[in-house]
Amino acid sequence: MSINFKELANKYQTPYYVYDFDYITKQYEELKGAFRARKSLIAYAVKANSNLSVIKHLANLGAGADCVSIGEVKRALKVGIPAYKIIFSGVGKIDEEIKQALELDILMINVESDAELNRVELIAKELGKIARISIRINPNIDPQTHPYISTGLHENKFGVDIDTAKRMYIQCKNSENLDPVGMHCHIGSQLTQLQPIKESVKIITDLVRNLKAIKIELSFVDVGGGLGIVYKDEKLIDTNEYAQSILENMFGLDITVVCEPGKFMVGNAGTFVTKVLYEKVNGNKRFVIVDGAMNDLIRPALYNAYHRVEVLNDNQEFSDCNLVGPVCESGDFFAKNIKLQKTQHNDLVAIYSAGAYGFTMSSNYNTRGKVAEIAIENGKDRLIRRRETFEDIIALEEEFIK
Ligand SMILES: *Cc1c(COP(=O)(O)O)cnc(C)c1O
C-alpha cells in the first residue's frame, strides 16, 4: 500500500491511525476462499479493532462477528451484521450481558465454565428462551506464542477440559432451555505454527464425533482466531494449509466451520503515525520523543511487542536510540535500541502493523484525547473517528464537581 502519511498529517493532524480497507478486503477474501469447500463463517473478532466503519466494511463482505462483551455485540448489530452471524465469547459474562444476548437472539454463546452454563440456563429459563450453546474447550496445547496471548493451556483461565465439556453437553441435551449447537476452541494469538492448531482441532473434532455417538449433534465447529501477521520477519501460516488442516478433520460431519480472526484481518492494514517533538541525549543514550504515546498504542509496553518503525525523512545519519512518548512512565516506549536517522521537529514517524489491538486498547491516561482514525479505500481517505477533545474527556465528570 502506498499511503501519503504527510498529506493525512496535514489534513487530520497527528497522531492518527490509518487503515487500508482494501487490505482488509484482501485478507477476508483470502480466508473465506480457503474454506470454499465447506460451509463456513468468518466471524471477525471485534476486539482487535472495533471502529464501527471497520466492522461495517467487514459486514459488507459477509463477515460475522465474534464479540467479548455485549457492547461489541451491539456494535456488530448496529452496522448490519445479522444476529445469526454473531457469537458471544469470554470467561466472565455478566448476567445482564447474557440476558441481552438471549433477547437479541444471536447465533450462540461460547460458554467457558460449568458455572456459566448454569447461569445461562437459569437466565434462559426466566426469559422463556432456548439458549444456543457452544462450549469452549481448553485442549491443553501450547500455542508457542507470547505467554500473555496464550490461552489454550490448562494454566490459562480459558475454556474447560474435555471431561467437563462432555458433562456440560449432556446437561445441555437434558435441558429445556439449552440447545448445544457448537464447539469452540481458541488457543492463542499471533500463531505462526500450524501444528498446535492441528492438534487442538483434532481434539475437538474427536469430541464432536463422541457426542454424535450419543445423539448430541452439533452444527458448528469454531476453531477460534489467532492467525499471526508480520511484525518483523515472521513466517506465517499459509491460509490454504490452515483451512486444509481443519477441514481434513471434518470428514463425514455435517458441520459449518467458524473461525474468528481478529489480528489477521486488520493488523497489517493499520499504521500509527506520530510526529517528532524533540531529540535528546541523557549520558550517551539518545531519545527520540514523539507526540504519540503508550496510551495510544500500548503493545510495546504491555507485551514488549515489536513494531517496525520508519522515520519519514531523507536523512542518512543513523544511530542507536529509544523511540518514546511524552507519558510519565518508563514503559512509555515504541521501540528500544533501534537505529533511526537524525530527526527534526515535526518529522513523521510511521509505526507499522498497528491495526489490531492498537486503538482498541488505547486510553485517556495523562488526559490525552484518543487519536483520530482514518480509512483509506480506493485511494480515498475519510475520517472514521474524530480526535477526542478536552471537552470529550471531561464530559462524564464535569456535572459532578461540587
Ligand atoms: C481475541 C480472540 C480472537 C481473535 O484473536 P486474534 O489473535 O486477533 O485473531 C478470537 N476468538 C476469541 C475467543 C478471542 O478471545
d(CA 66, CA 97): 14
Atom nearest to 263 CA in ligand 1: 8
Q: How far is the CA of 189 from the centre of ligand 1 (A)?
A: 6
CA 259 / ligand 1 centre spacing (Å) = 9
Tell me if 329 is assigned to a ligand binding site. yes
242 and 273 in a common domain: no
Local structure of 24: helix, strand or coil:
helix
Closest CA to 324 of 352, 296, 354, 356: 296
Are both 287 and 244 inside the same structural domain? Answer: no
- Most informative mutation of 189, 263, 299 for ligand 1 (most atoms within 8 A of CB): 189
Whether residues 52 and 200 share a domain: the answer is yes
Q: Which residue of 93, 260, 268, 357 sits with most ligand 1 atoms within 8 Å of its CB, as the best mutation to test the pocket? A: 260
How many Cβ atoms sit within 10 Å of the Cβ of residue 111? Answer: 33
Domain identity same for 247 and 291: no
Indicate if 282 and 210 belong to the same structural domain: no
Last residue of a domain, one of 208, 243, 261: 261
Residue with cell 498529506: 7
Structural domain contains residue 47: yes
385 annotated as ligand-binding: no
115 inside domain: yes
**Residue 22 within any structural domain of the chain:** no
Whether residues 144 and 286 share a domain: the answer is no
- Residues within a 6 A CB radius of ligand 1: 45, 47-48, 66, 68, 89, 186, 189, 224-227, 260-264, 356
Closest CA to 137 of 76, 191, 211: 211
Please identify, among 261, 292, 325, the residue that sits at the C-terminal boundary of a domain.
261
Nearest ligand 1 atom to alpha carbon 191: 7
Q: Which three cell numbers stand for residue 163?
A: 471431561
Q: Find the DSSP H helices in 41-113.
A: 52-61, 70-78, 95-104
What residues act catalytically? 328
Cell of 376: 483509506
Which residue ranges of the chain lie beneath pLDDT 50?
none
CB atoms within 10 A of CB 144: 14
What spacing in Å lies between the alpha carbon of 315 and ligand 1's midpoint? 40
Identity of the residue numbered 107: L
Q: What is the CATH number of the domain that holds 349?
A: 2.40.37.10
Residues 256, 290: one domain?
A: no
Residues 257 and 311 in one domain: no
Query: Do 204 and 337 lie in a common domain?
Result: no
Q: How remote is the CA of residue 318 from the centroid of ligand 1, in Å?
A: 38
Q: Which atom of ligand 1 is nearest to the CA of 68?
A: 15
Burial (Cβ within 10 Å: 0-12, 13-18, ≥19) of residue 127: middle
Q: Is 299 annotated among the ligand-binding residues? A: yes
| Alpha-carbon gap, residue 163 to 251, rounded angstroms | 23
- Is the bond preceding 15 in cis, omega lying within 30 degrees of 0? yes
Range of the domain at 300: 5-16+268-398
Q: Write down the pLDDT at residue 330.
A: 87
Q: Whose CA is nearest to atom 10 of ligand 1?
A: 225
Cβ neighbours around 171 below 10 Å, total: 16
Question: Are both 206 and 282 inside the same structural domain?
Answer: no
**Residue 252 known to bind ligand:** no
CATH number of the domain encompassing residue 191 = 3.20.20.10
**Domain ends where: 214, 236, 261?**
261
127-to-23, 105, 120 alpha-carbon distances in Å: 42, 12, 11
CA-wise closest residue to 312 among 257, 350, 269: 350
Q: Do the domain assignments include residue 24?
A: no
Q: Which of 28, 55, 89 to mutate to test the pocket of ligand 1 (most atoms within 8 A of CB)?
A: 89
Tell me the helix, strand and coil percentages in the chain, rounded to 5: 35, 25, 40
Could you give the CA distance from residue 303 to residue 280 in angstroms, rounded to a whole number? 26
Is residue 23 in some structural domain?
A: no
Residue found by looking up cell 496510551 in the block: 295
- Is 21 within the bounds of a domain? no
**Measuring from atom 3 of ligand 1, which residue has the nearest CA?**
225
Q: What is the pLDDT of residue 288?
A: 98
Does 165 fall in a domain? Answer: yes
pLDDT reported for residue 209: 97
User: Is 303 annotated as ligand-binding?
Assistant: yes
pLDDT at 149: 66
For ligand 1, the distance from its centroid to the CA atom of residue 98, given in whole angstroms, is 20
Q: How many domains does the chain have?
A: 2
Residue type, 322: N
Question: And the C-alpha cell for 284?
Answer: 550517551
Render pLDDT for 246-288 as a digit per residue (tens, 0 to 9).
999 999 999 999 999 999 999 999 999 999 999 999 999 999 9
pLDDT of residue 153: 74
Residue 194 belongs to a domain: yes
> pTM of the predicted model, to two decimals?
0.96
The CA distance from 371 to 353, in Å, is 17
252 & 337 share domain = no
How far is Cα 263 from Cα 231, in angstroms, rounded to an integer?
11
Beta carbons within 8 Å of 302's beta carbon, 6+ residues apart: 148, 361
Q: What is the pLDDT of residues 72-99, one digit of tens each?
A: 999 999 999 999 999 999 999 999 999 9
The confidence score (pLDDT) of residue 37 equals 84
- How far are the Cα atoms of 87, 92, 157 from residue 108, in angstroms, in the given order? 5, 16, 21
247, 38 Cβ separation under 8 angstroms:
yes
pLDDT of residue 1: 55
Q: What is the identity of the amino acid at 188?
A: G
**Average pLDDT of the chain to the nearest whole number:** 96
Does residue 280 sit in the same domain as residue 231?
no
Cα(176) to ligand 1 centroid in Å equals 31
- Please give the torsion angle defined by the CA atoms of residues 385, 386, 387 and 388, in that order, rounded to the nearest 10 degrees: -90
